[in-house]
Amino acid sequence: MKKLLAFLAAGLAVCVLLLYIVHDLNKGEGYAGGKTLTVYNWGDYIDTDLIKQFENETGIKVIYETFDSNEAMLTKIQQGGTTYDVAVPSEYMIDKMIKGNLLLPLDRSQLPNLKNIDKRFMDLPFDPGNKYSVPYFWGTVGIAYNPKLLGGKKLRNWNDLWDPALKHKILLIDGAREVMGMGLNSLGYSLNDTNRIHLQEAKQKLSSLMPNVKAIVGDENKLLMQNNEAAIAVLWSGDAADIMAENEDIDYVVPSEGSNLWFDNMVIPKTAKHVKAAHQFINFMLGAKVAAQNTEYVAYSTPNKAALKYMPKDMTEDKRFYPPPALTDRLEVYENLGQKNLAYYNDLFLEFKMHRK
């Protein structure tokens, strides 16, 4: 009997210990009892050495996850399975998340490095006063192409892509706003157009581009272009910069009909469990030297003015990736078009991908 009791007591002790560990892990504390921070960012969008540096400097363990579209990020945050402490949405999604009460206001007193950001990237319409978000990277959408694989052909406009000579040559970003925006701009419409007839026209026009489309891809576009396996890619500017650093033959152009100017900012979702650590991480990423190293690594354009002096001039003086206001002024920023319109964009994009007429 005594043996049985001892056995039951030992079993109970093991159960209590396991419950304690599970509870501890759910709180985001690791086995060692140290703090953790869960960061949710776009793929290929950070120098991972900097994550290690942050961990060494603060003792906070970073759990790092990636997404490949704003829509996928939003769904995951809303599902709530994982609680993210820092995320990096784009402007129209930030507007949507603010309106949906999904973000926590930032505590400026914990972000002294915010002074490093160029005023040009602060106080933008999607987050007046930067109450909820701080700039991470910015850029354009355009065309990267390899004239050597196109018999010397130069591309300047969206409409150039419909040339029958470009059969099976084009890679497209797997993004509804980007591809629909290109269709709309190619017709002379705004990339924020919500007129159903215009949107249908854009989808029809995109369907007629299909013979020239080689693939609709995510970050794989970079290797395909670098290795001369594809001649043209519609992509975000930073990916073009990255590709061009590896393959000198490639050029990048922002099409003359107009295109998208975008901003990706760091935010703290309302469900965050480690708000202080989230501020520490954001402030760390805003540091001038850290931002310079991160920018050299990911090749996107930094809004961090103080970082520029630590970066090579051939990078910061390249007007294709640091376009002056004269160019950016004629580009459009995606607006939050509301649930119904965004769903309509997504549906048309899906139909396009499925080759439906």
CB nearer ligand N2P, residue 61 or residue 222: 222
- Degrees to nearest 5, angle at CA 321 with 155 and 166: 20
Which of 264, 272, 306, 323 is in the footprint of ligand N2P by CB under 6 A?
264
Least Å from the CB of residue 217 to ligand N2P: 12
CB-based closest residue to ligand N2P: 42
The piece of 40-48, 120-128, 179-187, 249-257 that touches ligand N2P (CB under 6 A) is: 40-48
Pairing of strands 86-87, 36-42: parallel
3-state SS of 245-275 is HHCCCCEEECCCCCCEEEEEEEECECCCCCH
Least Å from the CB of residue 201 to ligand N2P: 26
Sketch the per residue contact string, 169 through 208, with ligand N2P: x for CB under 6 A, - otherwise.
----------------------------------------
Q: Across-strand partners of 215?
A: 171
- Degrees to nearest 5, angle at CA 336 with 238 and 100: 110
Which of 29, 44, 65, 296 is in the footprint of ligand N2P by CB under 6 A?
44
CB nearer ligand N2P, residue 193 or residue 264: 264
The piece of 31-39, 41-49, 152-160, 163-171 that touches ligand N2P (CB under 6 A) is: 41-49
**Residue 45 is a binding residue for ligand N2P (CB under 6 A):** yes
Residues binding ligand N2P: what is the number (CB under 6 A)?
A: 9
Least Å from the CB of residue 304 to ligand N2P: 16
* 357 vs 352: CA distance, rounded Å: 8
DSSP state of 146: -
**Residue 90 is a binding residue for ligand N2P (CB under 6 A):** yes
- Of 147, 137, 189, nearest to 169 by C-alpha is 147
**Residue 43 is a binding residue for ligand N2P (CB under 6 A):** yes
CB nearer ligand N2P, residue 90 or residue 295: 90
Which of 28, 37, 40, 42 is in the footprint of ligand N2P by CB under 6 A?
42
Least Å from the CB of residue 237 to ligand N2P: 9
Pairing of strands 133-145, 261-267: antiparallel
Which of 121, 262, 281, 284 is in the footprint of ligand N2P by CB under 6 A?
262
Contact 297, 47 (CB under 8 A): yes
* 323 vs 325: CA distance, rounded Å: 7
**Residue 236 is a binding residue for ligand N2P (CB under 6 A):** yes
CB burial of 122-154 (b: ≥16 within 10 Å; e: otherwise) equals: eebebbeebebbbbbbbbbbbbbbbeebbeebe
Report the number of secondary-structure helices (H) and strands (E) in the chain. Answer: 13, 9
Sketch the per residue contact string, 289 through 328, with ligand N2P: x for CB under 6 A, - otherwise.
----------------------------------------
> Which residues 6+ apart lie within 8 Å of 192 measured at CB?
332, 334, 335, 337
- Of 29, 82, 24, 37, nearest to 64 by C-alpha is 37
CB nearer ligand N2P, residue 42 or residue 321: 42
**Residue 92 is a binding residue for ligand N2P (CB under 6 A):** no
Contact residues: ligand N2P, CB under 6 A: 42-45, 90, 219, 236, 262, 264
